[in-house]
């Protein structure tokens, strides 16, 4: 067995692709439209889907926003230089919702932000 992908519904596909590719160095792996059911899928990630878990962005045509709900937690992205990464994100106009620092009761350095649709992202110092 293998974990393949996580899917997020997004209100503006191009905005979300730009957010993840420009700020987190992900690559657009493939994109497809489904005319019959009126949606577009974009798969992004750090490597080919056969070797890596990826993020599926789903745009349902005409839907601009979603309720995220209380069951969803966050996406986690490992970064080499968390303090520098957060400064760069801030320079790019992305607010950090939890500044980098050790997790409560531990030593792992984390930070939080939200993507354009409001999904929480945890950055974890590698």
Which amino acids are annotated catalytic?
122
Cβ atoms of 24 and 77 closer than 8 Å: yes
As a dihedral over the C-alpha atoms of residue 17, residue 23, residue 29, residue 30, rounded to 10 degrees, the angle is 0
């Amino acid at each position: 067995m293998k974990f393949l992908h996580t899917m997020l519904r997004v209100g503006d596909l191009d905005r979300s692709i730009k957010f993840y590719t420009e700020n987190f160095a992900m690559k657009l792996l493939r994109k497809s439209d489904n005319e019959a059911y009126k949606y577009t899928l974009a798969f992004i990630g750090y490597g080919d889907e056969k070797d890596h878990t990826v993020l599926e962005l789903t745009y349902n045509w005409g839907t601009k926003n979603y309720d995220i709900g209380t069951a969803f937690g966050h996406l986690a992205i490992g970064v080499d230089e968390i303090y520098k990464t957060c400064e760069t994100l801030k320079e790019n106009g992305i607010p950090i919702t939890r500044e980098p620092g050790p997790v409560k009761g531990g030593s792992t350095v984390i930070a939080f932000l939200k993507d354009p649709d409001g999904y929480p992202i945890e950055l974890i110092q590698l």
